Amino acid sequence: MTIVIFGGNGDLAHRKLLPALYNLHVDGLLPPRIAIAGVGRKDTPDAAYREFAKDGITKFSRRPIDEQAWQTFAAMLFFVKASLDGEQVLAPLGARLDIIEHERGLPGDRIYYFALPPALFVPTVKQLDRARFVNRTGDPVARLIVEKPIGRDLDSARAVNDAIAGVFDERQIYRIDHYLGKETVQNILVMRFANSIFEPLFNQKYVDHVQITVAEEEGVGTRAGYYEQAGALRDMVQNHMLQLVALVAMEPPHALDADVIRDEKLEVLESLRPIEGAAIDANVVRAQYAAGFDLGKPVPGYREEQGVDPCSRTETFVALQIFIDNWRWAGVPFFLRTGKRLPKRASEISVHLKEVPPILFNANPAARLDPNVLSVRIQPDEGFSLGISSKLPGPHVRVYPVKMDFHYGSTFGGSSPEAYERLLLDVIAGDPTLFMRRDAVEAAWRWVMPILERWAETTTDSLPAYPAGDWGPVEAGQLVESTGRRWRAL
């Protein structure tokens, strides 16, 4: 197997891909015969590329570098210079890969990883086609990994998917959403379908509402160029968050087969109630962070960030109330919020069960009991907890909210594999379960398009703001409070 990383000397390869491959190597999970070839425009000798990889592993790997393991890993690493401009530009890459594979006795099975800006997806896939790198028969194996975002709207997503589909068969395409590789996200299915206590409760009869929060403490940083064109809805909601909604809300699949699971997730996406017209203003809040504080330090507002248009209307925060119009979830609101420069990095799904009747221990209207909440902490502090009411020890009956807490770190010890480790391993094994299928990507785009279109039309009203370090604008609070609920504090 040869893993060919386009954008091999880029940030993603440095921070994520090479450390992930190194950890898979240390764990003995890579195939015994493998080569990893970084591809990029810069002329980089293999030795220099190995140093680049070592630096990334030293800084970003979940475990410290082991010199012996590193030596064997480094021997698998190569770099090939290639440009995408012109005809047959990948021929030298093909020649070099042939040599590497021949020398190492590799059969020519390849994984092509597009760690590239989205604008280069289509040109690169066309070059792969021109160079006849791809065989749809699957012998030798040719697989493609594409990073999100797939397009910036439905039309462009279709264009990218069409271009890729012209070269690769759908079963050869792995659209990566690294959220889906996280242990805790995978655990959602285990928690729901391997425990008889939870699944019977996951429906409109018992669930009052669901909240999903993906909070980042960082600002836009060095990604202003990308983020100005994207915004929180495209960057987070269209992909990560709707995937989380699908996992929480899907019906039990009849098998742990990739397409069975992905069919069930698609069902959820297709059952999302469209938000259109005036309903968008009532159910979707967007905002930008203003100047504030990050862990005590003053930080600028979004429009003052380097590379950001001082008149930018790009949203750094979005909150939504959505509904899934199917039998299971009829009438249950799902509240989603995501944003930059929030108080802390925290991703969590919380399932809020209905209140107990207002009698017995819940009889005092001034001191209602906290409803039970099942919360799945995706990152950091991975685990899940169930909030329950318990009697405080002592002679009086006093009720106190306590948590039954499962915490990965203190339960299993050791460090969990990074999402990219799991996902790369799945591609090597040919298992697409945790990857997005074309129909799901396009269904998600189809659902967010009315919101994007309305926002594009509405350019005169002022955008709500929230101070950096706060949990979003007051309008986001009102969105939930108008239904008699409130955002869960994290």
Partner 1 sequence: MASAVADRAWRQSTPERIEPDLAALWRDLARPDQPIARAVMSNLVVFCSPTDADHADAGAITVPLGLNDVAALHPSRLIVLEHEPGRRTPDAPFAAGVGIITFGPPHARYGVELIVVRSACAEASLPSIVRRFVRGDLPTTVWWTEDLSTTSPLDALVTMGRQLLYDSRRWDDLRRGVSALAPLVAGRRVDLADLNWRRLSPLRQALEHAAGPAGSTSRHEVTVRIVHRRGEAALAWLLAASLLATRDHAAGAAPEIEESQDDDAVLSVVIRHGTGETTATLTSHSVVVAQGSAPPFVVGVPIASEGDAVAAELRTLSHDSRLDDAIDALARWFAVA
Q: Report the residue number, 9 or 350, with the smaller CB distance to partner 1.
A: 350
Q: How far apart are CA 158 and CA 344, in angstroms?
A: 35
Mapped onto helix, strand or coil, the DSSP state of residue 282 is helix
CB of 457 to partner 1, least distance (A): 36
Q: Report the residue number, 19 or 38, with the smaller CB distance to partner 1.
A: 19
Select from 479, 74, 45 the least CA-distant residue to 287.
479
Q: How far apart are CA 141 and CA 109, in angstroms?
A: 4
Helices (H) and strands (E) in the chain, counts: 16, 17
Residues in the chain: 490
Angle between helices 258-271 and 242-249 (to 10 degrees): 110
CB of 390 to partner 1, least distance (A): 10
In the numeric block, which tokens belong to residue 404?
């039954």
CB of 316 to partner 1, least distance (A): 16
CB of 383 to partner 1, least distance (A): 9
Q: Report the residue number, 327 or 412, with the smaller CB distance to partner 1.
A: 412
Q: Do 194 and 256 form a contact (C-beta atoms < 8 A)? A: no
Q: Report the residue number, 7 or 417, with the smaller CB distance to partner 1.
A: 417
Q: How far apart are CA 195 and CA 193, in angstroms?
A: 6
Q: Report the residue number, 440 or 480, with the smaller CB distance to partner 1.
A: 480
Backbone angles phi, psi at 406, to 5 degrees: -105, 125
Q: Report the residue number, 111 or 373, with the smaller CB distance to partner 1.
A: 373
CB of 132 to partner 1, least distance (A): 46
Q: How far apart are CA 172 and CA 402, in angstroms?
A: 47
Catalytic residue numbers, as ranges: 240
Question: Strand 207-215 and strand 346-353: pairing?
Answer: antiparallel
Q: How many CA atoms lie within 13 A of 241 on its CB side?
A: 30
Question: Strand 346-353 and strand 77-81: pairing?
Answer: unpaired
DSSP-derived letter for residue 272 is: B
CB of 373 to partner 1, least distance (A): 7
Burial (0-12, 13-18, 19+ Cβ within 10 Å), 339: buried
Q: Do 250 and 268 form a contact (C-beta atoms < 8 A)? A: yes
In the numeric block, which tokens belong to residue 265?
């997730």
Q: Report the residue number, 45 or 401, with the smaller CB distance to partner 1.
A: 401
CB of 320 to partner 1, least distance (A): 20
Q: Report the residue number, 192 or 345, with the smaller CB distance to partner 1.
A: 345
Chain residues in the site for partner 1 (CB under 8 A): 217, 292-298, 343-344, 367, 373, 375, 380-381, 387, 392, 398, 400-403, 405, 407, 409-415, 469, 488-490
CB of 344 to partner 1, least distance (A): 5
Q: Which sign, positive or negative, has the C-alpha torsion 149, 152, 153, 156?
A: negative
In DSSP terms, 213 is beta-bridged to: 337, 348
Mapped onto helix, strand or coil, the DSSP state of residue 245 is helix
